[in-house]
Structure 1
Amino acid sequence: MAGLSAVRILQVGLGGFGRDWAARVIPQVPEVEVVGTADVFAGSRELALAAGLTTPDRCFSSVEEGLEATDPDAVLVTASLIGHVPAAEAALRSGRHVLIEKPFAPSVAEAENLVALADQQQRVVAVSQNYRFFPAVQAVRQLVADRTLGDLHAVEIDFRQFSGREGIAGPHHALAEPLLVDMSIHHFDLLRYVLGREVTAITCRTWDPEWSLFTGPSEGVALIDSGDVVTSYRASWVSSGAKTAWAGEWRMDFAGGEVWWTSRGDGPEGWKADLVTVRRGRFLETLELPVVERVDRAGSLTEFAQAIAAGREPGVSGRNNLGSLATTYAAVEAAQTRATVELAGWR
């Protein structure tokens, strides 16, 4: 963006995750400039001020107050899910672009309304599906698109972590759907992104061991149809097994070989865990991965800023994200009803 002004941003949401955005993510992206912050909770504002992440003259108690005082180009919504739609609506109606943390909205209908409002206002609305911005993901997506190994016909995904092993509960332990809506949404979005196909139907079961610290279901299995490709999905927030990277472990069966890959390890250098291996009969090859200049959330924020500067729709647009959100809520419905849920209705 040489020669172009930075996108002036109002950050809405200063809870723990929002403060992490302010401290670690936004400083990586010189294409944006934070001109103000906002949070309805005084405690969150006070913690952000104490951490030196904002200043009293740039910290506001509502998105509307922040918009009026700072006149930003865009709004970054890092609030909890309940605050996504109100903040995004206020921003879009005032003519600002919006980047929202996942999940996009509490329902597909509300998300569709935000996409329609953005179209009406001729503004960008995007969702930070940050797992897309990793080397292994980019490599496998290209391999599928190029049909290097022929037709893809089956996918297996395994995710294992143990949240609460130390006996300490975090905010996500109290969520109604901690696995599917907070975590699996990443895997569902990657499935759509890597395959280049929409999910057409899903069957799902979820449960929670009585000893876990979670309020809602922490484990689940699903069978996911994407046209003529079927995915077997297994995930656990309370697994005592060897933990996976955050994107999980993927095995993809093609007519001409097998691909095993993983992505997004722990910490700021999580990209170093990325690995893609290709098996053709007895021959095993570890792929050289592409360089991704900015990974994770810095990648999604960069894509947002560059799309605004270029006047184009970002790859992580709200319109594109509707399929991931629909898959996630279809999985919740399938788990609750114990029936296969078709996804054709949301399009």
Structure 2
Amino acid sequence: MVLKVGVIGCGSIAKYRHLIEYSQNSEVEITAVCDIVKERAESAADTYDAEVFTDYKDMLESTDIDAVSVCLPNYLHAPVSIDALNSGKHVLCEKPMATSKEEAEEMIQTANKNNKKLMIGHNQRFVPSHQKARDLIASGAIGRVYSFRTTFGHGGPEGWSADGSNSWFFKKEEAFIGAMGDLGVHKADLIRYILQDEFTEVSAFVEISAKAHSDTDDNAALILKSESGIIGTLAASWAYNAAEDNSTVIYGEKGMLRLEDDPKYSLIAQYTNGETVNYELGAIQSNDEGGQTTTHVINHFVDSILNDTTPLIDGTEGKKSLEIILGALESVETKRICTLEK
């Protein structure tokens, strides 16, 4: 079976991630592309021999496609995904999956009602160093985990987004949140995955300090507490101008794990007995790679459809990661620690 897919939104995330990776999968045919900027859709269509649309509803109604990627500004993720699910399509939606808990729940319910796959594009779970760290923690290699720090920052989406400094990323009515939604939600999902633990409390500071033209946050710092009592920090920033930082450090009873924190070794395990183990597991994906990348997100989504399995980051998982970010926003607004629902 060849899976026929359509891509809604032909900006940078589609151009450098979704379209490239779909085209590299032998079990996929890119059938349709859609963008309100017709030239972008036409450019993608020329490259991948697909049909062009400027209205996603026309695409959903008039083409024979099995699945879609939703690569749109954040405020459109939920409504477009819901329409696609109701039209009988499997959906891979970019993160953050929605702008509210209610939207996320409606997406999950719609996927279940229509018996279709819903996956959220959190790629950090597929990074080899992250998967190895999860295994080491689960095996008890570093004993009880006490704390962590995780961060994701770079100079901002100006050089990445198709619209540069005029991008929707900087417009609150379209983006909903800035660096915390763009980058922080990735790390919220990652730390849940690595620790295999859920978070119960969050406190946050969120600021607009580095992007004068923006009305969305560009610097965020969160303090998190998990069900098992692990406490740690999560930082998301568009103000790391000198170099990208996508590192995570886990502190445990018998040692510590440094993930993507060294230029040569993607994972370094340092133990209290003096032993150090260096792992060369391949570099983490970066926007600086010029688009030639494999996130494994697309292949996993395709496999889940063809093999009828639950995606690793389904709607429920996406919602749990989103709720950490929503809790951080509540903390900022109330100037209190926010308790997250279990």
TM-score band (shorter)? 0.7 to 0.9
Which residue number corresponds to residue 289 of structure 1? 281
Which residue number corresponds to residue 65 of structure 1? 58
Equivalent pair of 2:41/2:54 in contact (CA under 8 Å): no
Shift of 1:85: 2.1
Shift of 1:303: 0.9
> 1 CA distance for matches of 2:333 and 2:63?
44
> 2 CA distance for matches of 1:260 and 1:211?
30
Which residue number corresponds to residue 267 of structure 2? 276
> 2 CA distance for matches of 1:62 and 1:311?
29
1:254 and 2:243 are equivalent in the alignment: no
- Counterparts in 2 of 1:11-30, with a 5 A limit? 11-21=7-17, 23-30=19-26
- Counterparts in 2 of 1:108-187, with a 5 A limit? 108-163=101-156, 169=165, 171=167, 172-175=169-172, 177-187=177-187
> 2 CA distance for matches of 1:165 and 1:64?
29
Deviation digits for residues 18-58 of structure 1, max 9, x if unmatched? 3334553322322321111223x1x2x22231452466x71
Equivalent pair of 2:152/2:183 in contact (CA under 8 Å): no
User: Taking structure 1 as the reference length, what is the TM-score of the superposition?
Assistant: 0.84
Equivalent pair of 2:148/2:248 in contact (CA under 8 Å): yes
> 2 CA distance for matches of 1:22 and 1:253?
35
Equivalent pair of 2:18/2:298 in contact (CA under 8 Å): no
Which residue number corresponds to residue 3 of structure 2? 7
- Flag the 1:174–1:147 CA change in 2: closer, same or farther, 3 A: same
Shift of 1:239: 3.5
Equivalent pair of 2:17/2:295 in contact (CA under 8 Å): no
Deviation digits for residues 125-169 of structure 1, max 9, x if unmatched? 111111222111111111111111211111122444233899x72
Shift of 1:314: 0.8
Shift of 1:243: 3.0
Which residue number corresponds to residue 319 of structure 2? 322
- Counterparts in 2 of 1:88-127, with a 5 A limit? 88-127=81-120
Q: Aligned letter for 2:306?
A: A
Q: Secondary structure at the match of 2:7?
A: strand
Equivalent pair of 2:188/2:234 in contact (CA under 8 Å): no
Equivalent pair of 2:93/2:120 in contact (CA under 8 Å): yes
Which residue number corresponds to residue 189 of structure 2? 189
Q: Secondary structure at the match of 1:316?
A: coil
> 2 CA distance for matches of 1:11 and 1:250?
32
Shift of 1:198: 1.2
Q: Secondary structure at the match of 2:165?
A: coil
Shift of 1:297: 6.1
Q: Secondary structure at the match of 1:104?
A: coil
Equivalent pair of 2:41/2:53 in contact (CA under 8 Å): no
Gaps of at least 5 residues in structure 2 are: 285-291
Gaps of at least 5 residues in structure 1 are: 266-271
Equivalent pair of 1:88/1:98 in contact (CA under 8 Å): yes
> 2 CA distance for matches of 1:221 and 1:280?
28
Equivalent pair of 2:266/2:282 in contact (CA under 8 Å): no
Identity %: 23
Deviation digits for residues 54-89 of structure 1, max 9, x if unmatched? 66x711232232123222111211122222222212
Shift of 1:177: 2.4
> 2 CA distance for matches of 1:28 and 1:274?
28
**Higher alpha-carbon deviation: 179-188 or 86-95:** 86-95
Q: Aligned letter for 2:237?
A: S
Which residue number corresponds to residue 69 of structure 2? 76
Q: Secondary structure at the match of 2:84?
A: helix
Shift of 1:338: 1.4
Which residue number corresponds to residue 237 of structure 2? 236
Q: Aligned letter for 1:180?
A: M
> 1 CA distance for matches of 2:264 and 2:70?
29
- Flag the 1:201–1:111 CA change in 2: closer, same or farther, 3 A: same
User: Taking structure 2 as the reference length, what is the TM-score of the superposition?
Assistant: 0.85
Which residue number corresponds to residue 216 of structure 1? 216
- Flag the 1:32–1:202 CA change in 2: closer, same or farther, 3 A: same
> 2 CA distance for matches of 1:243 and 1:278?
24
- Flag the 1:170–1:339 CA change in 2: closer, same or farther, 3 A: same
> 2 CA distance for matches of 1:164 and 1:82?
17
Q: 1:308 aligns with which of 305, 309, 321?
A: 305
